[in-house]
Amino acid sequence: MSTGQDLTGPDVVTVGEPLVQLSPPSGRRLQEAGTLDVHTAGAEMNVAVGLARLGHRCAFVGRVGADPFGARILDELRGAGVDVSAVRRDPVRPTGVYLKDHDRGTTSVYYYREGSAAAAMGPADLGSVAASPRWFHVTGITAALSASCAALLDDLLAARPGRARISFDVNHRPGLWPDARAGQVLLDLARRADLVFVGRDEAARLWGTDTADDVRRLLPEVPVLVVKDAAAAATSMRGRQVTTVASLPVPVVEAVGAGDAFAAGYLSATLAETDERTALRRGHLFAARALLSVADQVEPPPPDLLADAADRDDSWWGGAELLQHPYLRGRGLPVVGGRPESRRAVEPQEV
C-alpha cells in the first residue's frame, strides 16, 4: 500500500463489504410479500456513493462474487462515479445479501453473508490501492466478518509515517458478533483512527458510557470524535473544541442507512475544510433524507441547502423554512393509505 500522500489519488477510499439488500415493497412483512425490491447497500458502499454524489473522488476496496449480484453492485458503484478498479470478483464465494423485514413499525435485518466473497478479504487487498487517498473510511463491521478482515483493519490502522488519515465508524452489528467480544476490539481500532463516529447508545452498549464526555475519556487521543445521539443531537470534539448541533425532527420511515449518510455528509464538509457547525449540519441533512427512505442510499442535499448549512443562523436550523424544503418533505416515499409511511425512530434489530 502506498503510504505517502499523492494529490492525484482519490479524496476517499472506503474499504468493506458491499451487499445486495432485499426488502418487501411498501413496508410489507417478508412472510406475506409476493415480491422483493432489490437495492445495493453496505455501510462503506453507502458512504462511497454518498460522497461521490456530493462530487468527491472516491474509490472502493472490497470483494464481490462473480455472480449477478456482484455485477449489479459494480454497475451501481460505477454509475455513482466510484472507482471500482480495486474491487475483486471471487469466482467461488458469493456476494453477501441481507433482507429487511418490516413489522408494526420496526425493522429487522437478516444477514446472509457468512462465507461471502468479502469475508475472504485481508491485508493484501489494500495493495490494490494505486495511490494514497486523502482519507480512508472504514467501519467496525469489517472486523466482525472474519479473522482476515480483522487483520486488514489492524494493518490499515497501524501507525506508520505518511499514513493517510482514517475515518472509523464503530458501527457495531450485534447480529455479527456479541457485545462482549466486540467491545474491546472496536475500542482498540477506534483509538488508532483520526476521526471516529459512534452512536451514544452504541457506546453505552459496548463500553458502558452514558454521555459524549464519557466516550471522550475513553478516546482522549483521537483528533476528532463525533458522538451521535439519534433524534437529539450530534456532538463533535475536535481537540478541546466541542460543537453540538440538534438533529432535524423529520418523520422516520426507516433508520437503516442514516448513520452512513451522516458520515458522508460530515466527511464531505471535512474535505471542504468547513467549520464544525457546518460539518454537523451537513451530516444531519443527509441523515434526515435517509430517514425518509426505505433505501440505504439516497440523493445528497442540493446546493442551496449545503450553502444555507454554512451561512444561516441558529434560528433557521430546525425552523419551518428548513423543514418545509422539498428535500425534507419526503418526495418519492412509498405511500400507504395516501400518506408517506412513518415508523418509530428505533435501531434496526439485526438477526
Residues annotated as catalytic are 260
Q: What is the DSSP string of 231-293?
A: TTEEEEEETTEEEEEEPP---BS--TTHHHHHHHHHHHHHHTT--HHHHHHHHHHHHHHHHT-
Contacts with 66 (C-beta within 8 Å, 6 or more apart), sequence order: 89, 90, 91
CA dist 111 to 42, 72, 102, 254, 321, Å?
A: 11, 18, 15, 17, 40
Residue whose C-alpha cell is 478541546: 240
Contacts with 343 (C-beta within 8 Å, 6 or more apart), sequence order: 27, 102, 105, 106, 107, 252, 253, 254, 255
* Neighbour count for residue 29 (Cβ, 10 Å): 12
Taking alpha carbons only, the member of 191, 173, 169 closest to residue 182 is 173
Integer-rounded Cα radius of gyration of the chain: 19
Taking alpha carbons only, the member of 162, 231, 160, 222 closest to residue 197 is 222
Taking alpha carbons only, the member of 109, 103, 112 closest to residue 256 is 109
Contact predicate 270/296, CB 8 Å = no
Residue whose C-alpha cell is 464481490: 64
* Neighbour count for residue 126 (Cβ, 10 Å): 18
